[in-house]
Every structure is written in structure tokens, then in C-alpha cells.
Amino acid sequence: MDTPKHTVVLGASPNPQRYGYLAVNRLRSHGHPVTAIGKRAGEIGDTPIIEEHPALEGVDTITLYLNPMNQVPYYDYILSLKPKRVIFNPGTENPELEGLLRENGILAQEACTLVLLSTGQF
């Protein structure tokens, strides 16, 4: 495995049928440290889902499971974390946020985190 990448899952859910839930589990099973942020507190396995926007250091990747409208309140927070990249999973594509990321030297990647993990491209 490559170096573990601290990943923030925005749109994490305690519902096992949601992609944000699956992503947290899959990232953890691949050895990546995960911060799960959602609308409601809860847990995914032993990973807490938090509602706050904590200051974090060393964030490699933010993976989005929020529709574009629900991303707006997170713009400043996402930029403050200074991630290397933000993954826009299917249905989360957002040209406005992608432009902001590029202006700040952050890679905006339209991809599926689950596919990237399963194909060794994460």
C-alpha cells in the first residue's frame, strides 16, 4: 500500500446504504486515517461522525458526498484545510468550487473514491 493519506469524508452518514458510509469503511480498510463529517453525529464502526468543522493538519484528500448546494457552507472550511486534492464523487460535481480549488492550488478531481480504492489509484 502507498503512504496512508489523511482523508476527510464530507457527507459521512451512519446509514450503511449511503456512499459516505461505504467510503469511510473502505478508506479505513485500506489503512487511511479518516475524519468523518456529517449532518448528524453518529459512528461508522469505530469512526465517529462529527458535525463540527475541526481544524485539522496534514489533510491529503477531502472526498465529497454532498450535492453542490450543500457544499456552499463548507467552501471556506475546505480551503482552510489546505488539502492536496478534493474528490468530487458522482453527483457532487461543482464547477464553482472546482474553480476556487484551482485558484488555491488544490487539485479538483472528478472521480469515485470507491473505484479509486478498488483499482489501487487512490
User: In this predicted structure, what is the pLDDT of residue 78?
Assistant: 98
CA–CA dist 116, 122 (Å, integer):
5
User: Taking a C-beta distance cutoff of 8 angstroms, is the pair 41, 89 a contact?
Assistant: no
Give CA torsion, residues 21, 5, 62, 34, to 10 deg: 40
In this prediction the pTM is 0.96
CA–CA dist 104, 66 (Å, integer):
21
User: In this predicted structure, what is the pLDDT of residue 3?
Assistant: 85
pLDDT tens, position by position, for the chain (122 residues)?
A: 468 999 999 999 999 999 999 999 999 999 999 999 999 999 999 999 999 999 999 999 999 999 999 999 999 999 999 999 999 999 999 999 999 999 999 999 999 999 999 999 99
38 burial level (CB within 10 Å; 0-12, 13-18, 19+): buried
